[in-house]
Structures are given as structure tokens and as C-alpha cells.
């Protein structure tokens, strides 16, 4: 079942949008099959890291078809800034990976800019393992029994989390990062697709 956890995390983190967070799938597997949470979090973190690596490889091609030229340049600029030095990049990605925010935009920028992925993937793995382990341990504690979690299924809370996650990704894509980082002003472009 740890291989299933690995494959599930790899699959959902290869998809750029509208995929559930990997930790929710890991949580279901842990409860349903009584898996060790630490081993499951480790298998999930490895799968997620490989999945995000795959995403960063194919996302430049996909962005040519979906992003406007201005937004592509904007995302490329963020990636270039991110990839300049190892330690600032490592620490930023680690801190970002510890938050509940989606890392899709981060890997989109890294992939489009074609930066060195070693600092990004290594720090993502560390942050992903720690944040998933925390979510799994606290979720397992809060769930109490596996029947309650599995029977609840879809809820308004899940829908709101998906909406907020989508809004964060869209907000990230609408920010003119060049203006923000160079002039310290926030400017949005509502049309970011081609």
C-alpha cells in the first residue's frame, strides 16, 4: 500500500490544476489500511517530488498554449529570480512548501524559467514531508475513526478549500511579478491566458 501512496502522490502532483492535495489521499490510505503515517508521508513526499519534477518539465510546453505572452514573460521572470542563488531559493521553497498553499504556481515558474531544479526539488521534498506528516498526524487524530471520515465524503468544507486553493493559484498568476519585485507595487492582469 505504500507503493499506492507513492503512485497517488505522484499522479496528483503531476496534474497542474484541479487535483486534490496528496495528503488527503494519503490520509484515506492510512485510515483504511492502517498504514504507518511516517512511512506513508515519506512515500507520498517522494511521489510528490517526482510528480512536481515531471510537471516542471512539461509545463513550459503547456504554458505556450494557455498563457498570454505577457503572463509567460511574467512567470519566467519569477522563475529567473527564484533560480539565481542556491540558499535563498532553497529556503524560499522550503518555507513555501510548509504552507498549505498549492505549489503549482511555484513549479510553473521554475519550469518555464528552466532553472536548476536541485534546490527546488530538494527543499520541496523536505517541506512536503514535514507538512504532509503534520496534516496526516493531525488529521488522523481529528478523524477518530476511519468510518466517519470515509462516510462523510464530499462536504462544503472540501468545496471551499478547493475554491480557495484555485483562487490562490489564479491570484498568483494575475500578479505582475516584475512590477512587484522591481518597483514594490502590486499590479494585477485579469487576463493571463492566451
148-162: pLDDT as tens digits: 445 555 567 766 766
> Does residue 143 form part of some domain?
yes
pTM for the whole structure: 0.71
- 100-128: average pLDDT: 88
What average pLDDT does the structure give for the chain?
A: 82
Structure confidence at residue 11 (pLDDT): 96
Q: Kindly report the CA angle at 41 between 10 and 93, in degrees rounded to 5?
A: 70
How far, in Å, CA of 147 to CA of 149, rounded? 6
Q: Quick check: helix, strand or coil at residue 134? A: helix
For residue 192, pLDDT beyond 60: no
pLDDT for 149: 42
Yes or no: say if 79 and 110 are a contact pair by the CB < 8 Å rule.
Answer: yes
- At residue 142, the pLDDT reads 63
Q: Is residue 193 part of a domain?
A: no
Query: DSSP label at 34?
Result: T
Can you give the length of the chain in residues? Answer: 194
Question: What domain range includes position 75?
Answer: 2-183
What is the domain count for the chain? 1
User: Is 194 part of a structural domain of the chain?
Assistant: no
Rounded Cα–Cα distance for residues 22 and 31 (Å): 15
pLDDT at residue 165, as a whole number:
66
* 189 assigned to some structural domain: no
Question: Which three-class secondary structure state does DSSP give residue 193?
Answer: strand
Of 9-18, 22-31, 174-183, the poorest mean pLDDT is in: 174-183
- 173 falls within a domain: yes
Amino acid at each position: 500500500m505504500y507503493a499506492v501512496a507513492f503512485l497517488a502522490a505522484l499522479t496528483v502532483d503531476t496534474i497542474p490544476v484541479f487535483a486534490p492535495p496528496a495528503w488527503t489521499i494519503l490520509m484515506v490510505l492510512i485510515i483504511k489500511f492502517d498504514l504507518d503515517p511516517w512511512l506513508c508521508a515519506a512515500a507520498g513526499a517522494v511521489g510528490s517530488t517526482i510528480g512536481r519534477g515531471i510537471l516542471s518539465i512539461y509545463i513550459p510546453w503547456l504554458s505556450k498554449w494557455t498563457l498570454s505572452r505577457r503572463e509567460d514573460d511574467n512567470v519566467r521572470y519569477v522563475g529567473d529570480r527564484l533560480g539565481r542563488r542556491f540558499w535563498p531559493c532553497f529556503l524560499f521553497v522550503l518555507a513555501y512548501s510548509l504552507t498549505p498553499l498549492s505549489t503549482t504556481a511555484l513549479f510553473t515558474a521554475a519550469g518555464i524559467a528552466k532553472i536548476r531544479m536541485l534546490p527546488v526539488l530538494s527543499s520541496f521534498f523536505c517541506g512536503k514531508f514535514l507538512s504532509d506528516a503534520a496534516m496526516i498526524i493531525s488529521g488522523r487524530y481529528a478523524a477518530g475513526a476511519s468510518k466517519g471520515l470515509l462516510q462523510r465524503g464530499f462536504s462544503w468544507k472540501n468545496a471551499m478549500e478547493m475554491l480557495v486553493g484555485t483562487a490562490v493559484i489564479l491570484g498568483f498568476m494575475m500578479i505582475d511579478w516584475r512590477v512587484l519585485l522591481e518597483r514594490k507595487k502590486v499590479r494585477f492582469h485579469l487576463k493571463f491566458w492566451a
